């Protein structure tokens, strides 16, 4: 998302997560092969992965599918005394803008919940890319409701070339193909071609705005045309040109919100309403975007229960969020180096002239949003976190890293 203001700054590095490295053949995500070879020192790259980033596809499982299949988060959900007290102590001396929901699922039959200001809404930023990914999986299920194997082949074998929806984005994505001596990172351009798994991976692993807008467009087309998708470039251009803008806006919202509603989520509390690029916005009109920790936590719970779209989609989405790349922000906590982390972050900062203050990345003095959504599997412990903040002038990337350490210690120290 973008904020238009005289000194708005949005040159943000990628928010990094990824499918497990052994998923290259299953998904066709070529980058995974490149990252594995880079980690092994077989091709030129800077990539070295922490132990927690080296899990396999078989290690990724849905933890609430059986024991806590009916569990839900509501305003009346009991707070666990130990966890609630610990969370309150962590945030007692911090900025009042923080809002958080935490769920300890170490014992899947007995989830333990704590929260602070969990219904406070904020612009979700790149966290909204979770809803775009949900929209694509929802459209695929709508098209092939009883055939998950068909959906998997569809995501792997459907290659589409980028159009103007990728304009404009300063972020880069990795390019790799078999035999390359190095991974090349560059901005996406019109004509760049990837399969749908790769477009999802770029949108989530690199947090590419270009890939997110283009993936949303493809989800809209799949939602509208079903098994007739993919359309040719000419058919796509004709549809977008001849369809009234207001109708395209409604289609964009329905594509991402229908599977959320069908999964039992409350779209009055989570919404991505605007494309992530100006190229997408020129075609599809936008509306407001918002999220709160409580509903983001419910998104994570539905995922772990296998109820986000359906069980197959939930598992694939969790794999796509697996952090098999170098870490930063919340997930860069040294305490999590051995943990499996499934992560998405969002950041927006805006600067205004202020004598004596040097504004910068993650330290906005007008807006300084930082959001972290994470599943952490650390030793015998597993827990979910949805954290949102707008702490002006503070390096929120470092602060979220510190909070990640404190929450890990709290969870591990439970008697």
* CATH numbers and ranges of domains, the chain: 8-412 (3.40.710.10)
Question: Predicted confidence band at 159 (pLDDT cuts at 50, 70, 90)?
Answer: very high
203-250 tens-digit pLDDT: 999 999 999 999 999 999 999 999 999 999 999 999 999 999 999 999
| For the chain, the helix, strand and coil percentages under 3-state DSSP, each to the nearest 5 | 45, 15, 40
What is the rounded CA–CA span in Å between residue 41 and residue 197? 26
Contact in structure between 183 and 34 (CB atoms under 8 Å): yes
Checking if the pLDDT of 325 tops 80, the result is: no
Average pLDDT over residues 306-310: 98
291 φ, ψ (degrees, to nearest 5):
-160, 160
DSSP letter string, 145-186: TT-HHHHHHHHHH-EEE--GGG-S---EEEE--TT-SB-EEE
Any idea which residue has 């980028």 for tokens?
162
Average pLDDT over residues 176-183: 94
75-119 tens-digit pLDDT: 999 999 999 999 999 999 999 999 999 999 999 999 999 999 999
Q: What is the pLDDT of residue 103?
A: 98
131-150 tens-digit pLDDT: 999 999 999 999 999 999 99
Residue 241's H or E segment, with its range, is helix 233-242
Q: Which residues contact 232 (CB under 8 A, 6 or more apart)?
A: none
Any idea which residue has 């591990």 for tokens?
412
In eight-state DSSP terms, residue 178 is: T
Contact in structure between 222 and 151 (CB atoms under 8 Å): no
Burial class for 415, CB neighbours closer than 10 Å (0-12, 13-18, 19+): exposed
Return the minimum-mean-pLDDT range out of 17-31, 204-218, 303-317, 366-380.
17-31
The three-point CA angle 31-37-43 to 5° equals 100
Specify the length of the chain in residues: 415
Contact in structure between 16 and 325 (CB atoms under 8 Å): yes
Question: Predicted confidence band at 415 (pLDDT cuts at 50, 70, 90)?
Answer: confident
Checking if the pLDDT of 3 tops 50, the result is: no
């Amino acid at each position: 998302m973008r904020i238009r203001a005289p000194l708005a700054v949005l040159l943000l590095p990628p928010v990094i997560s990824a499918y497990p490295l052994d998923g290259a053949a299953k998904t066709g995500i070529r980058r995974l092969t490149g990252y594995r070879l880079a980690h092994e020192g077989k091709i030129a790259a800077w990539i070295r992965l922490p132990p927690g980033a080296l899990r396999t596809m078989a290690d990724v499982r849905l933890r609430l599918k059986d024991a806590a299949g009916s569990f839900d988060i509501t305003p009346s959900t009991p707070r666990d005394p130990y966890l609630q007290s610990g969370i309150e102590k962590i945030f007692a001396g911090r900025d009042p803008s923080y809002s958080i929901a935490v769920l300890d699922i170490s014992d899947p039959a007995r989830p333990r919940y704590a929260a602070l200001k969990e219904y406070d809404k904020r612009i979700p930023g790149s966290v909204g890319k979770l809803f775009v990914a949900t929209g694509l999986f929802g459209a695929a299920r709508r098209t092939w409701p009883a055939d998950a194997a068909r959906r998997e082949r569809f995501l792997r074998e459907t290659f589409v070339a980028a159009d103007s929806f990728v304009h404009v984005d300063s972020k880069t994505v990795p390019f790799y193909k078999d035999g390359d001596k190095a991974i090349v990172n560059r901005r996406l351009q019109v004509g760049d071609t990837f399969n749908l798994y790769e477009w999802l991976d770029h949108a989530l692993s690199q947090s590419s705005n270009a890939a997110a807008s283009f993936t949303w467009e493809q989800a809209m087309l799949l939602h509208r045309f079903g098994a007739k998708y993919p359309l040719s470039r000419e058919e796509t251009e004709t549809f977008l040109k001849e369809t009234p803008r207001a109708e395209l806006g409604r289609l964009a919202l329905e594509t991402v919100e229908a599977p959320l509603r069908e999964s039992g989520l409350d779209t009055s509390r989570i919404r991505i309403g605007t494309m992530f690029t100006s190229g997408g916005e020129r075609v599809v009109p936008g509306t407001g975007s918002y999220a709160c920790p409580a509903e983001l936590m419910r998104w994570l719970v539905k995922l772990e229960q296998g109820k986000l779209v359906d069980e197959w989609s939930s598992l694939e989405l969790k794999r796509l969020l697996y952090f098999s790349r170098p870490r930063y922000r919340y997930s860069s906590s040294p305490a999590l180096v051995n943990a499996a982390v499934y992560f998405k972050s969002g950041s927006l900062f805006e600067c205004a002239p202020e004598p004596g203050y040097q504004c910068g990345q993650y330290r906005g003095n007008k807006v300084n949003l930082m959001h972290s959504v994470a599943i952490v599997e650390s030793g015998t412990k597993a827990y979910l976190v949805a954290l949102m903040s707008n702490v002006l002038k503070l390096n929120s990337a470092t602060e979220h890293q510190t909070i990640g350490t404190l929450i890990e210690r709290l969870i591990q120290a439970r008697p």
